[in-house]
């Protein structure tokens, strides 16, 4: 699983989620404010000033218009008028008995706009005093909102911090979701490739087996034997392709940790080069090995078989791309806490297109580019060892691949 | 068992076509006593009445895996087993079995690869002794008697030291091929090549003084720069 890939996808996912959340929040807020505004208009919440205006001071005392009185009764409201001068009750309508009849200045300060004996009240100043409108108990909830200007000014910062926190949470969730999705997909892909290559191997055994036996059969004509030889050869190519495909599959989606051991890279280089030279390698491919003394004495950690494979593929690449022959030079140096392994040849070199493809960090699902499966395997082996690889063409002709591994 | 080809072989694989091919190939190679089985149950029956001397066993069988069958077969008799596997992933499990005389081969394989492995497994199990090491190494006029560790034909008869003997034996085992300095150190000191370079060079010079007519221009024991040494084969006349 590639972390880069996961993070990129997770970013997209979280951006999408964030937009959905933001739109949702705006819609919710809109609906809420609409509901609040329209409800407060309809619920017939009494406007204290309206009632206060409808209270008239006549010669026979105070008189509330009949229309207002009906509305009060209907809503279970009560009202009273407190004298400015004495704090005595001047007039009242439907006042509950527990509401007192005399008020001091501090009493008024205490209930003004709040609760009077648990009744929510509102007040309005009229000519003679204070008009108090009371609602039934538990009919309204009041809470003081007060904020220092400093705090209020800081509000945008808080909003940004809150938004950032929200986004972090969304991002975390996205990474988790994306990672799980990729993991499932990768697991399915490993299974699939392993299954397909398994299914190819058994029939290929028979192709190889019979072709090789026909090739050696003395009873059939020479020409047919040669043709059987071609089938055998191509069968072997398919065999190594299937094996490579399987290896790439396991390396690219590697979930099992690599079993690394202490090893001498110098010995590994000598062994691999000697194996090439001891094999049927044509004389037009001389191999030269140069190991600096510092590197020769070094022990490093790695997966032996994979590192042998890596070097073998690099040498094989030079051989395959230079059918007319080329000199191959392998160098191992220790520099600045890194092991530098260079394989270079004086052959044709890479094409520009190949170089671009080789230098790019190809995601696993793209088509094979550059050096085909062989160099792709090299790149993956270097990657699973935490190293870096650099491909370049030499000014004098030919190409060089340098692998840098931590010691 | 007179010859290796006389061994009784049991082939176990669920693919009848593959079984047929294996049988054909092995008969071409001269094996005559071959029985086949398509699953674990048949294999166990055959193991009872055919008493095979080697088993070719597919790791994947319709009625269980080859590993289980392997341990069941082993309970009956100590027969060598050559596993056939179509998955690279099996390699780890096969290694985990601690295969002794046994071996495994990954599909697809070439007939010669299969018979090579099979012969090796049979030889390890049934041949009393390994083919003896070449007693005498011939280097032109010079002859080295590996039995006694003496060099003849280059002036007075000389004795090889233990290290020189080990190095020459290793080179002779791989005669004509490059032997890396690392392998030589392993052969002589049973240790990794850390700081042995100069010591190895000294021993090689002494060895040359004994086996080469002209040690500064060696004809047989050739240095391969950067890699190791090679003991040349005698040119065929």
Other C-beta atoms closer than 10 Å to the C-beta of A200 total 18
The domain in which residue A278 lies consists of 260-406
Written in H, E and C, the secondary structure of A90-133 is: EEEECCCCCCCCECCHHHHHHHCCCEECCEEEEEEECCCEEEEE
A345 within a domain of the structure (yes/no):
yes
Q: A213 contacts in B (CB within 8 Å)?
A: 24-25, 28, 111
Positions of chain A with pLDDT lower than 50, given as ranges: 1, 43-44, 365, 369-370
A275 and A394 inside one domain = yes
As a dihedral over the C-alpha atoms of residue B12, residue B13, residue B18, residue B22, rounded to 10 degrees, the angle is -20
Whether a cis peptide bond, with omega within 30° of 0, leads into B180 is no
Q: What is the DSSP letter of A392?
A: E
* Residue B140 in contact with partner chain A when CB distance is under 8 A: no
What is the pLDDT, as a whole number, of residue A45? 53
Alpha-carbon distances of A128 from A50, A52, A82, A88, A363, rounded to whole Å: 16, 11, 8, 11, 85
Same domain, A270 and A295: yes
Residue A22: half-sphere exposure toward Cβ, Cα within 13 Å: 10
Q: Tell whether A168 lies on the interface with B, counting CB pairs under 8 A.
A: no
Instruction: Evaluate the CA torsion angle B5, B9, B13, B17 in order and state its sign.
Output: positive
Domain end call among A229, A252, A275: A252
How far apart CA A120 and CA B106 sit, in angstroms, is 88
CA pair distance A75, A29, nearest whole angstrom: 30
The DSSP bridge partners found for residue A290 are: A331
Q: By three-state DSSP, how is residue A300 classified? A: strand
Nearest CA in chain B to A295: B194
Residue pairs spanning A and B at CB distance below 8 A: 96
Least Cα distance to A121 among A110, A129, A130, A112 occurs for A112
**What integer pLDDT is reported at residue A28 of this predicted model?**
92
Contact check, Cβ <8 Å, B177/A278: yes
Please state whether beta strands A388-393 and A399-406 pair in parallel, antiparallel, or not at all (unpaired).
antiparallel
In-domain check, residue A195: no
Same domain for A103 and A230, yes or no, is: no
Among the listed residues B48, B76, B59, the one whose alpha carbon sits nearest the alpha carbon of residue B12: B59
Q: How distant, in Å, are the alpha carbons of A127, A143, A154, A162 from that of A150? A: 39, 21, 6, 18
Q: Are residues A248 and A271 in the same domain?
A: no
Does one domain contain both A124 and A225?
no
Whether the CB of A207 is below 8 Å from some CB of chain B: the reply is yes
Contact across the interface for A235 and B178, Cβ inside 8 Å: no
Instruction: Tell whether A323 and A217 lie within a shared domain.
Output: no
HSE toward the beta carbon, residue B114, CA cutoff 13 A: 29
For B179, list phi and psi in degrees, rounded to 5: -110, 125
Crossing angle of the two packed helices A149-215 and B111-126, in degrees rounded to 10: 80
Give dist(CA A163, CA A99) in Å, integer. 48
Count of CB atoms within 10 A of residue A34's CB? Answer: 10
Instruction: Indicate whether A302 belongs to any domain.
Output: yes
Q: Which of A109, A134, A159 is the last residue of a domain?
A: A134
A59 and A95 together in one domain? yes
Q: Which residue has the tokens 């004086």?
A: A346
Of B28, B108, B177, the CB nearest to A204: B108
Q: Which tokens belong to B59?
A: 């790791």
Pairing mode of beta strands A399-406, A89-93 = unpaired
User: First vs last Cα of chain A: how many Å apart?
Assistant: 25
| Chain B neighbors of A289, CB-CB under 8 A | 225-227
Cβ of residue A126 closer than 8 Å to a chain B Cβ: no
CA distances B123 to A59, A264, B1, B119, B130, Å, are: 135, 34, 11, 6, 8
pLDDT for A163: 85
The confidence score (pLDDT) of residue A369 equals: 47
CA–CA gap between residue B58 and residue A198 (Å, rounded)? 13
Query: Are A271 and A396 within one domain?
Result: yes
Q: What is the pLDDT of residue A370?
A: 46
Angle between helices A304-320 and A265-278 (to 10 degrees): 50
> Structurally, how many domains does chain A consist of?
3
Residue B180: enclosing H or E segment and its boundaries?
Answer: strand B178-180
Backbone angles phi, psi at A194, to 5 degrees: -60, -40
* Model pLDDT, residue B236: 56
Shared-domain flag, residues A310 and A358: yes
Asked whether residue A265 falls in the same domain as residue A374, the answer is: yes
Residue A331: its pLDDT value, please?
Answer: 93
Q: Which residues of chain B have pLDDT under 70?
A: 1-2, 96, 99-101, 128-134, 193, 236-237
Mark which of A88, A106, A134 sits at the end of a domain.
A134
CA dihedral A219, B20, B56, B96 (to 10 degrees): 110
Closest alpha carbon within chain A to B86? A198
CB contact under 8 A, B177 and A250: no
- pLDDT tens-place string over residues B187-212: 888 877 677 778 889 999 999 999 99
Angle, vertex CA A387, rays to CA A381 and CA A389, nearest 5: 80
HSE-CB for A311 with a 13 A CA cutoff: 29
Any domain includes A162: no
The distance of Cα A245 from the centroid of its chain, to the nearest Å, equals: 29
**Pick among B11, B16, B226 to test the A interface (most A CBs inside 10 A):** B226
Residue in the structure block whose two tokens are 């997209």: A12
Q: What is the pLDDT of residues A34-54, one digit of tens each?
A: 888 776 655 445 578 888 888
Residue A334: left if φ>0, alpha if ψ -120 to 50, beta else—which one? beta
Q: Residues for chain A: how many in total?
A: 407
This prediction's pTM: 0.66
Could you tell me which chain B residue has the CA closest to the CA of A289? B226
Q: Which of residues 191-220 of B touch A (CB under 8 A)?
A: 192-195, 197
Portion of chain A with pLDDT greater than 70, in percent: 94
Q: Which residues of chain B have a CB within 8 Å of the CB of A202?
A: 15, 18, 86, 107-108
A164 lies in some domain = no
* Residues A245 and A354 grouped into a single domain: no
Nearest by CB: B178 against A266, A267, A277: A277
Asked if residues A358 and A391 have their Cβ atoms less than 8 Å apart, the reply is: yes
Task: Classify residue A246: in a domain, yes or no.
Answer: yes
Among candidate residues B38, B85, B82, the one with its CA nearest the CA of residue B60: B85
Note whether residue A230 is domain-resident.
yes
How many contiguous H segments (helices) and E segments (strands) does chain B have?
A: 8, 14
ipTM: 0.75
Whether A276 and A209 map to the same domain: the answer is: no
So what's the pLDDT on residue B131? Answer: 55
Q: Which residue has the tokens 């929200």?
A: A166
The answer to whether residue A37 sits within a structural domain is: no
Question: Which pairs with CB-CB distance under 8 Å and at least 24 residues apart come from A320-324?
Answer: A320/A374, A321/A347, A321/A348, A322/A285, A322/A347, A322/A348, A324/A284
Is residue A207 classed exposed, middle or buried when 0-12, 13-18 and 19+ CB atoms within 10 A define those classes? middle
């Amino acid at each position: 699983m590639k972390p880069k890939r996961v993070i990129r996808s997770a970013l997209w996912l979280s951006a999408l989620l964030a937009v959905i959340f933001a739109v949702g929040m705006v819609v919710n807020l809109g609906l809420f404010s609409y509901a609040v505004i329209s409800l407060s208009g309809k619920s017939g919440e009494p406007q204290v000033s309206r009632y206060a205006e409808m209270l008239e001071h006549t010669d026979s005392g105070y008189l509330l218009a009949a229309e207002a009185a009906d509305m009060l009764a209907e809503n279970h409201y009560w009202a009273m008028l407190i004298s400015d001068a004495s704090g005595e009750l001047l007039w009242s309508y439907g006042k509950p008995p527990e509401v007192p009849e005399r008020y001091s200045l501090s009493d008024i300060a205490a209930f003004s706009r709040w609760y009077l004996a648990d009744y929510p009240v509102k007040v309005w100043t009229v000519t003679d005093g204070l008009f108090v409108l009371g609602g039934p108990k538990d009919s309204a909830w009041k809470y003081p909102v007060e904020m220092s200007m400093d705090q209020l000014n800081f509000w945008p910062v808080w909003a940004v911090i809150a938004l950032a926190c929200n986004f972090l949470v969304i991002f975390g969730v996205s990474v988790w979701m994306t990672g799980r999705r990729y993991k499932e997909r990768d697991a399915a892909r490993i299974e699939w490739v392993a299954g397909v290559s398994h299914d190819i191997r058994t029939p290929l055994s028979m192709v190889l087996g019979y072709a090789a036996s026909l090739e050696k059969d003395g009873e059939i004509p020479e020409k047919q034997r040669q043709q059987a030889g071609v089938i055998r050869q191509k069968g072997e190519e398919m065999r190594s392709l299937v094996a490579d495909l399987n290896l790439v599959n396991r390396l690219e989606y590697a979930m099992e940790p690599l079993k690394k051991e202490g090893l001498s890279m110098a010995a590994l280089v000598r062994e691999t080069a000697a194996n090439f030279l001891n094999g049927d390698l044509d004389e037009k491919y001389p191999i030269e090995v140069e190991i600096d003394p510092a590197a020769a004495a070094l022990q490093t950690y790695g997966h032996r078989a994979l590192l042998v494979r890596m070097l073998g593929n690099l040498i094989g690449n030079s051989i395959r791309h230079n059918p007319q022959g080329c000199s191959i030079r392998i160098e191992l140096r220790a520099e600045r806490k890194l092991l530098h392994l260079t394989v270079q040849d004086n052959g044709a070199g890479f094409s520009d297109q190949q170089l671009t493809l080789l230098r790019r960090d190809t995601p696993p699902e793209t088509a094979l580019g550059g050096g085909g499966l062989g160099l792709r395997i090299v790149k993956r082996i270097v990657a699973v060892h935490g190293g870096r690889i650099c491909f370049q063409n030499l000014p004098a002709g030919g190409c060089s691949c340098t692998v840098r591994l931590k010691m | 068992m007179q010859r290796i080809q006389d061994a009784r072989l049991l082939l176990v694989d669920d693919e009848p076509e593959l079984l047929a091919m294996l049988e054909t190939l092995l008969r071409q190679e001269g094996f005559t006593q071959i029985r086949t089985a398509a699953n674990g149950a048949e294999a166990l029956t055959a193991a009872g009445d055919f008493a095979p001397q080697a088993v070719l066993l597919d790791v994947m069988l319709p009625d269980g895996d080859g590993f289980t069958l392997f341990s069941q077969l082993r309970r009956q008799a100590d027969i060598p087993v050559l596993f056939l596997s179509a998955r690279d992933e099996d390699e780890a499990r096969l290694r985990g079995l601690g295969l002794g005389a046994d071996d495994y081969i990954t599909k697809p394989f070439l007939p010669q690869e299969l018979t090579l492995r099979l012969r090796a497994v049979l030889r390890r199990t049934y041949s009393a002794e390994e083919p003896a090491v070449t007693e005498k190494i011939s280097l032109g006029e010079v002859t080295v008697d590996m039995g006694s560790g003496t060099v003849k034909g280059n002036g007075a008869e000389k004795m090889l030291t233990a290290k020189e003997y080990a190095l020459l034996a290793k080179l002779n085992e791989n005669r004509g091929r490059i032997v890396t300095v690392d392998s030589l150190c392993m052969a002589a000191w049973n240790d990794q090549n850390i700081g042995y370079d100069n010591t190895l060079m000294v021993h090689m010079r002494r060895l040359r003084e004994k086996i080469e007519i002209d040690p500064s221009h060696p004809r047989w024991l050739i240095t391969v720069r950067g890699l190791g040494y090679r003991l040349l084969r005698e040119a065929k006349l």
